[in-house]
Amino acid sequence: QVQLVESGGGLVQAGGSLRLSCTASGRAFSSAVMGWFRQGPGKEREFVAAISWNGAITYYADSVKGRFTISRVNAENTVYLQMNSLKPEDTAVYYCARNIRGYTRATGAGDYDYWGQGTQVTVSS
């Protein structure tokens, strides 16, 4: 059993920054690819970023490339999402999840098994 808890969401003006955290408890965090997804109002859940088990490989959706950075500290069982130059269209509930395929380019929601409860990010214009 794996439990994931996100934090760090909030309200920010366009152009601002936020850092999301996802802390895991339970088995097999340090050996797993981890990812971030988001779901905006009236939209489907979409892939944002993923990171390999050792942090050496990252992969991003085109919509966030160059603005968001995913990282992890396995000793702390935590994965981060640094979000810079935020835009109103980044407004969404952000979720972290554990990848079951073992590679960062597996970006479908079905490629992930355990999910956190989500944290709200709101970007005002």
Residue type for position 66: G
List pLDDT tens digits, range 21-35.
999 997 778 899 999
CA–CA dist 40, 21 (Å, integer): 19
List pLDDT tens digits, range 60-107.
999 999 999 999 999 999 999 999 999 999 999 999 999 999 899 999
CB of 100 closer than 8 Å to CB of 35: no
